[in-house]
Copies of this chain bind each other. A is one copy, B any other.
């Protein structure tokens, strides 16, 4: 079942421990499901209850702690020894009298780490305020420090095996986008278009299947294209509607996101102009991508390109992506925006989505790219244009 070799898992763990060591951390608590998967392979939809990995700098293996009924998923999907899979009983689940972090704190004490420097992912999904309050109360002699994104920053450079998964995801993304564009027409319900897209995302290709994406397809239409994170309704499309499709392909939890805009009928001059401005900006930006350029330098190329046409955009134009779980396929590390001095390196992967939303409509055209040894590789295979139906 393991998606990567034991050697690869072992390298990842070593990098995490090196980073812990540099920062003086004895223990790292990991709740981000993507980070749990990255280090152990753990893969189940069980992140709706409290679960975590404990990485101790002086222990060979991380410890998985989760709900009793999910221990078998940990045995099936991880490389961990059974002794390091430690379940809590079901009465801890969503209880008003007991909290799973009490169990975790007791285990940390048993392992002799009650006085240690303990890092946790303070701003990660699923590491709640209550987790923090219980742990600090139960371990008053430990020193707690913030370990947010420690593992995420290691994830930013992908191995070749990871890149091969992301390329499969890109193939699924391209197919799913084509299926969506084909399905859109005046009189068709939004939900029926999304049903076709999701069918394609999950069935994948003849040679490999798709996984669930960390974000569902986003398909605002008409004036709702000004609101980029709306999902869908059962309304019917009508002549004159712009429709934005943002989706991803996913293969074994690795994502390749993609956005395109469709127009039903003859596009207005405004939409055509906005699309041209975005396409020019995307092309100018793709031309300069190579190892050594920083995220903010890249964004500035885009910014200058659209400024020539009298446009500006406040929000970031992209972010690092790859392995992930709901609710986000972004990695929360490098962003393509002013102030981000991250230097692009080979096998970084970004979703560049320089969308522009005006008051009554918006246009999105995005690409997921890999930084190569000398330049850039765009992963999806679909025309970069306004699709007219």
Contact = CB atoms under 8 A, between A and B. Distances in A.
Given A68-B315, A191-B210, 18 more contacts: A44-B227, A44-B230, A45-B229, A70-B229, A76-B224, A90-B316, A91-B339, A94-B335, A124-B128, A189-B203, A191-B209, A192-B209, A195-B203, A195-B210, A196-B199, A202-B232, A209-B233, A209-B234
A23 to B, nearest CB: 14
Interface stretch (A106-114, A211-219, A273-281): A211-219
A191 B218 contact: no
B226 A72 contact: yes
A198 interface: yes
A76 B210 contact: no
Nearest to A251: B234
A57 interface: no
A327 B76 CA distance: 22
A126 interface: yes
Contacts of A128: 122-125, 127-129
Interface in A321-338: 326-328, 330, 332, 335, 337-338
A315 B130 CA distance: 23
A231 interface: yes
A19 interface: no
Interface of A: 43-48, 68-70, 72-73, 75-77, 89-91, 93-94, 96, 99, 120, 122-133, 146, 148-149, 189-192, 194-196, 198-204, 208-212, 215-216, 218, 224, 226-234, 314-316, 319, 326-328, 330, 332, 335, 337-339, 357
A44 B91 contact: no
Contacts of A44: 227, 229-231
A332 B339 CA distance: 41
A120 B129 contact: yes
A143 B239 CA distance: 55
A99 B122 CA distance: 12
B227 A216 contact: no
B190 A194 contact: no
Scoring A73, A94, A194, A332 by chain B CB atoms within 10 A of each residue's CB, the highest score goes to A94
A128 B131 CA distance: 9
A277 to B, nearest CB: 18
A69 B315 contact: yes
B212 A190 contact: no
Interface centre among A124, A231, A328 (most CB of B within 10 A): A231
Contacts of A72: 226-227, 357
Contacts of A314: 68, 89-90
B129 A215 contact: no
Contacts of A218: 45
A119 B209 CA distance: 45
Contacts of A89: 314
B198 A229 contact: no
